[in-house]
Amino acid sequence: MKWIKAILAVSLTLLVIYGLNRTYGVIPALGPFLSPYEGFWRSGADDGFESEELTLEGLQAPVQVRFDSLRVPHIFAQNDHDLYYAQGYLTAKDRLWQMEFMTHAAAGRLSEIIGERTLEMDRYQRRIGMVVSAKKSLARMQADPQSRAVMEAYTAGVNAYIAQLSPHEYPFEYKLLHYKPEPWTTLKIALLLKMLAYDMTGYSDDLRMTNNLRKYGPEITQDLFPDYPFHEEPIVPLGSKPDFTPLPIPPTPADFMAAAAAHTLERQKPENLGSNNWAVTGAKTANGYPLLASDPHLNLSLPSIWHVVQLHAPGINTYGVIIPGAPGVGIGFNERIAWGMTNVGADVLDWYQIQFKDNKQQQYWHDNQWKPVRRVVEKINVKGGQTILDTVLYTHHGPVAYLPHEKAFRAGSTPIGHALRWIAHDPQNELRTLILVNRAADYQQFRNALTTWAAPAFNFVYADSQNIAIVSNGQFPLKWPEQGKFLLDGSNPAHDWQGWIPMEQVPQVLNPERGFVSSANQTPVSPQDYPYYLGASFAGYERSARINQRLSAMTQATPDSFRLMQTDNYSFVPQNVLPTLLKLVNQDSLTGTQKKAYQLLVSWDYRFNPDKMAPSLFENWWQTLARAIWSDDFPPETYKAPARDRLVQMIQQVPRSRWYDDVNTPDKETLPMLVNATFKEVADSLGVGGEKWLWGNARDSYIRHMAQLPGFEHQLFTGGSANSINALNGSHGPSWRMVVQMGPQIQAWGVYPGGQSGNPASRFYDNLLNDWQTGKLHQLLFLKSAADRPSATSVTWTFKKN
């Protein structure tokens, strides 16, 4: 009896401990997670942040780090090695979990830490060749001694931080998901750069566009999807003729129409993926020196996408933001120049229809012969022990991401797959660009630094104390017109990418007559002023039009003028289309509440302000109307609907178009019928209005935790719209607002939705969120030396070598 009792008690105890020490799907391991001695309760302590001395293995000389009131580290090192080492260490201190999580996501390794629910995401990352191309890029970067040294020093710094962590100090998310950090590697830096390319260029509409072409033929497709939009304000001012001798353009091959295709994996390009940047010359500013602004728009999340840092060592003094896990400064300024980026949006991702010889898929047809398929087996480890093997087929174009048996449609009995040709597969040394830009002292050095930046292509805005410039810089394939607008023929060599646009011939403007440069992801240059084809679906012109309108009118500009511009909620979309729509509404047929809604729109100033109801009403109406017009002809699952800009043109110019009719009904719908019906529907749903219909609430914008943890999100109450300069749209918006005033004493301001710390228990996790929402900027403390303005910082860390 004694024995039974003892054995029972001991087994039960062990069972309970075992049960509490493991995770169950999304449920954390409750024992270690809840234990206040090692679990989440203890993650909070960031008080008692004070000056100290740390001894670090691997440093070459002492390093001083001064933290300002926003807890931005200002690193003063005596050599480059120690500079990047310290940056790695300090970034890991703030953002270790985030950096590792992003690289796991890029490498298709999320299932290792989350489980089966992320398996398909991981499989997709493997299929598009992320790790393979990161490894190729890494080899390229390591071939350059300076880049290699920077990466290795940074990696050593991150690992020095990881090495001294004990489990109770692991960031919160490790405790939640019950795993521990692994050593940082230089490959992870390459993966982060690939992830950036993926976020900016990893989209295509080629499958859907091909379906359009098959359904409606070339003429209608050309009419609804023109290569150059109806309204445009290109980055390069109209009429600027190129001053170079262009390469010959490859000849356009005979028409090719791929088989109809659909795949749930096709990532459609969001219509308003974008960012703003601009600069004006000294002639337009109050202090006589150029001013520059940059606000990249990304999917907003916590921890913040950006980490802010000042890097100071012999030959370098730069300040700005960078994606945690990558060395250097991405967007920022130094003592001489300032720069910022927006996405170009050129077509650098194409799909090739691959015809396999047979179902074994060992050979494919190209250039009149069967060529071998290379097979790469990808191992995906899933939390809990399972390992999934996935074979990826490689052609000379790239990986076959969509396999025949996974396709919704089939053409005859030929096995067909789609191979991906993507700029991210071509290795280049983007890191070198950052290293050199951070140290550049004039335009020539800046321009030279850009020549190793391949992807993602960015519109790099530039200013120094005399010059302003913008360069739509990246590696662009040399294409025949419209190459890659639709699926390409993987068997015809004329469809292959045939070379590159020379880096010195990318669209660019230096000190234009109009006194300003700007970009908002629109078409970089009009086809009349440029010999090469870059793509056919750039962001709509509305944001750029508003930016240019304000910059043209601007005189005596101050940094505050730019701050106000960055939070401008005005949109050209309602300005262009609302008067026409309102005229079509039959006012006599409206009920009382509908009349009120009508009046709201009539008196609206086209500003998407958070405390107004009209923006909610318009946005809802416009989306509903667009769906009513297009969704019957272009069902969104398999077809791409024409762009917003094309719809505006049609509504303004073609009152009786075939597209207004709903082909699913026997009646013949007209534009006025749709306008009236959708207006009433939306006005009725609004009812008497109320708080929830104010634009700030109705838009339902959230900033979420990077791993989508419930309970960690903030609802945003703020203005702007996808086509306003303040381009907040859903969870996508200005991720860093920066204004830099050039001159002998460079001064800068900035804000981002979050904070320096990645610890959700820290005050510095989201301390800037409110200022960001209300459009405030903070002056950025740019120190000249370790001894500059000692009272400006109160906490100093000294790193000593061992």
- The catalytic residue positions are 275
Q: How many CB atoms lie within 10 A of CB 661?
A: 19
CB of 37 to other proteins, least distance (A): 4
CB of 105 to other proteins, least distance (A): 20
CB of 710 to other proteins, least distance (A): 5
Does 6 engage in binding with other proteins (CB under 8 A)?
Answer: yes
Binding test (CB under 8 A) with other proteins, winner from 250, 332, 734, 760 = 760
**Structure token pair of residue 377:** 């087996």
Closer CB to other proteins, 568 or 766, in the complex:
766
Strand partners, 354: 417
Burial class (CB within 10 angstroms; exposed 0-12, middle 13-18, buried 19+) of 713: middle
User: Of 43-51, 128-136, 562-570, 726-734, which part binds other proteins (CB under 8 A)?
Assistant: 43-51
Name the pairing type of β-strands 338-343 and 747-751. unpaired
Burial class (CB within 10 angstroms; exposed 0-12, middle 13-18, buried 19+) of 78: middle
In the range 656-715, which residues lie near other proteins by CB under 8 A?
709-712
Does 35 engage in binding with other proteins (CB under 8 A)?
Answer: yes
Burial class (CB within 10 angstroms; exposed 0-12, middle 13-18, buried 19+) of 431: buried
What stretches of 453-594 adopt beta strand conformation (E)? 458-463, 468-473, 488-489, 508-510, 516-519
Does 43 engage in binding with other proteins (CB under 8 A)?
Answer: yes
Contact 282, 290 (CB under 8 A): yes
350 known member of a binding site: yes
CB of 15 to other proteins, least distance (A): 9
Question: Which one-letter DSSP state was computed for residue 477?
Answer: B
Binding test (CB under 8 A) with other proteins, winner from 24, 25, 45, 406 = 45
Does 25 engage in binding with other proteins (CB under 8 A)?
Answer: no
Closer CB to other proteins, 9 or 139, in the complex:
9
Binding test (CB under 8 A) with other proteins, winner from 25, 139, 164, 167 = 167
Handedness of CA 102, 105, 109, 115 (dihedral sign): positive
Of the candidates 200, 235, 292, 71, the residue with the CA atom closest to the CA atom of residue 738: 292
Angstrom distance (rounded) from CA 154 to CA 149: 8
**Residue type (1 letter), 321:** V
**Structure token pair of residue 102:** 């992003």
Binding test (CB under 8 A) with other proteins, winner from 76, 97, 161, 172 = 172
User: Of 179-187, 192-200, 386-394, 757-765, which part binds other proteins (CB under 8 A)?
Assistant: 757-765
Contact 518, 275 (CB under 8 A): no
CB of 170 to other proteins, least distance (A): 12
CB of 699 to other proteins, least distance (A): 22
Name the pairing type of β-strands 747-751 and 778-779. antiparallel
CB of 7 to other proteins, least distance (A): 9
68 known member of a binding site: no
Residue 682's Cα: distance from chain center in Å? Answer: 32
Q: Residue 377 to residues 355, 393, 674: CA-CA distances in angstroms?
A: 21, 9, 53
Closer CB to other proteins, 412 or 710, in the complex:
710
Q: Residue 679 to residues 71, 449, 532: CA-CA distances in angstroms?
A: 50, 53, 43
Closer CB to other proteins, 592 or 711, in the complex:
711
Of the candidates 679, 654, 651, the residue with the CA atom closest to the CA atom of residue 576: 651
Binding test (CB under 8 A) with other proteins, winner from 23, 40, 155, 461 = 40
Residue whose token pair is 């720069």 = 339
**Structure token pair of residue 318:** 């730069």
User: Of 41-49, 80-88, 282-290, 526-534, which part binds other proteins (CB under 8 A)?
Assistant: 41-49
Closer CB to other proteins, 18 or 370, in the complex:
18
Number of residues binding to other proteins, judged by CB under 8 A? 39
What DSSP element (H or E) covers 320? strand 316-322
CB of 270 to other proteins, least distance (A): 28
Name the pairing type of β-strands 732-734 and 291-299. antiparallel
Binding test (CB under 8 A) with other proteins, winner from 12, 139, 283, 602 = 12
User: Of 5-13, 309-317, 370-378, 719-727, which part binds other proteins (CB under 8 A)?
Assistant: 5-13
Does 17 engage in binding with other proteins (CB under 8 A)?
Answer: yes
Closer CB to other proteins, 673 or 709, in the complex:
709
**Structure token pair of residue 590:** 């409206």
Binding test (CB under 8 A) with other proteins, winner from 23, 39, 188, 780 = 39
Q: Residue 637 to residues 199, 208, 267, 742: CA-CA distances in angstroms?
A: 22, 9, 12, 49
Closer CB to other proteins, 43 or 548, in the complex:
43
Angstrom distance (rounded) from CA 226 to CA 217: 14
User: Of 7-15, 284-292, 538-546, 731-739, which part binds other proteins (CB under 8 A)?
Assistant: 7-15
User: Of 27-35, 263-271, 478-486, 587-595, which part binds other proteins (CB under 8 A)?
Assistant: 27-35
Question: Which one-letter DSSP state was computed for residue 421?
Answer: E
In the range 482-501, which residues lie near other proteins by CB under 8 A?
none
CB of 492 to other proteins, least distance (A): 53
Closer CB to other proteins, 30 or 590, in the complex:
30
Known binding positions: 347, 350
Known binding positions for Ca(2+): 347, 350
Instruction: List contacts with other proteins (CB under 8 A).
Output: 2-3, 5-6, 9-10, 12-13, 16-17, 20-21, 30-32, 34-45, 47, 167, 172, 709-712, 760-763, 765
